[in-house]
C-alpha cells in the first residue's frame, strides 16, 4: 500500500494553495500529503483501492476501504471517483449525504466545490478537499478543536477525538 496522506499533529497546516496540493507537502513521519499529480499518476490507468483510517485518542482504530478509487488530472480539477462496495467500521461518509464522488478538489485559492461559498476557505474548515456543499467527510481541516468541524460525520464529529488519520492506496 502507498501512503498518500497522514496527520498525527497540527504541526503542518493543510489550508494550503492549489500548487502545494498539486505538488505535495509536509513530513511523512508527522503530517503529509503526497500531491495530486502523484495520486493521479498512481490511479489513472487502473482502479485502486482506497484505505482510510482514523485512530481515536482512546486507541480505537476505525477504517473504511473503498473498492475503487481514482483522481483525475489537473485539467479536470483532480475530480474524485469512488466506486464499488465500501467496507469497514468508519462509515461511508464520503458517499452518504453530500457524496464526494465526482467532486472537484478545492483549495482556499481555487473554489471548485458545489457550494455558493468557498468551503476550503471557510474559517472553520480551511483546508483543501473534495467538497460538496460542504462535507460529511473532511480529513484536512484545521487541527484546532474549535475549528475542525465534522471530520467524519456522524462517526467522528470533532478532532478532539482524533489521534491520527491516514489514507493509503493499493493499485490493482
Length of the chain: 172
- Which is more confidently placed, 125 or 59? 59
Residue 169: predicted pLDDT: 97
Show the domains of the chain with their CATH numbers: 2-171 (3.90.215.10)
Cα 172 to Cα 163: distance, rounded to the nearest angstrom: 30
Reduced to 3 states (helix: H, G, I; strand: E, B; else coil), residue 85 is strand
- What is the arithmetic mean of pLDDT over 64-70? 96
Q: Which pLDDT score, from 0 to 100, does residue 37 have?
A: 98
> Which is higher by pLDDT, 133 or 104?
104
Mean pLDDT computed over every residue of the chain: 90
- Residue 146 CB burial class (10 angstroms; 0-12, 13-18, ≥19): exposed
Nearest 10 degrees: Cα torsion 109, 22, 127, 137: 130
What are the beta bridge partners of residue 51?
65, 168
Nearest Cα residue to 127 out of 146, 144, 140:
140
Q: Which of 39, 61, 35 is nearest to 48 (CA)?
A: 39
Q: Are 15 and 126 in contact (CB under 8 A)?
A: yes
Q: Does residue 145 register a pLDDT over 70?
A: no
CB of 148 closer than 8 Å to CB of 141: yes
Amino acid at each position: 500500500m502507498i501512503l498518500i496522506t497522514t496527520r498525527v499533529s497540527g504541526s503542518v497546516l493543510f489550508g494550503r494553495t492549489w500548487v502545494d496540493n498539486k505538488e505535495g507537502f509536509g513530513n511523512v513521519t508527522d503530517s503529509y500529503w503526497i500531491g495530486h499529480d502523484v495520486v493521479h499518476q498512481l490511479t489513472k490507468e487502473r482502479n485502486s483501492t482506497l484505505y482510510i483510517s482514523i485512530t481515536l485518542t482512546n486507541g480505537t482504530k476505525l477504517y473504511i476501504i473503498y473498492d475503487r478509487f481514482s483522481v483525475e488530472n489537473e485539467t479536470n480539477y483532480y475530480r474524485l471517483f469512488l466506486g464499488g462496495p465500501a467496507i469497514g467500521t468508519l462509515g461511508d461518509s464520503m458517499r452518504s449525504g453530500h457524496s464526494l464522488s465526482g467532486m472537484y478538489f478545492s483549495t482556499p485559492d481555487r473554489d471548485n466545490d458545489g457550494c455558493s461559498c468557498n468551503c476550503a476557505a471557510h474559517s472553520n474548515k480551511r483546508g483543501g478537499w473534495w467538497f460538496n456543499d460542504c462535507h460529511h467527510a473532511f480529513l484536512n481541516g484545521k487541527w484546532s478543536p474549535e475549528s475542525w468541524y465534522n471530520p467524519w460525520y456522524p462517526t467522528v464529529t470533532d478532532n478532539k477525538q482524533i489521534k491520527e488519520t491516514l489514507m493509503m492506496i493499493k493499485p490493482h
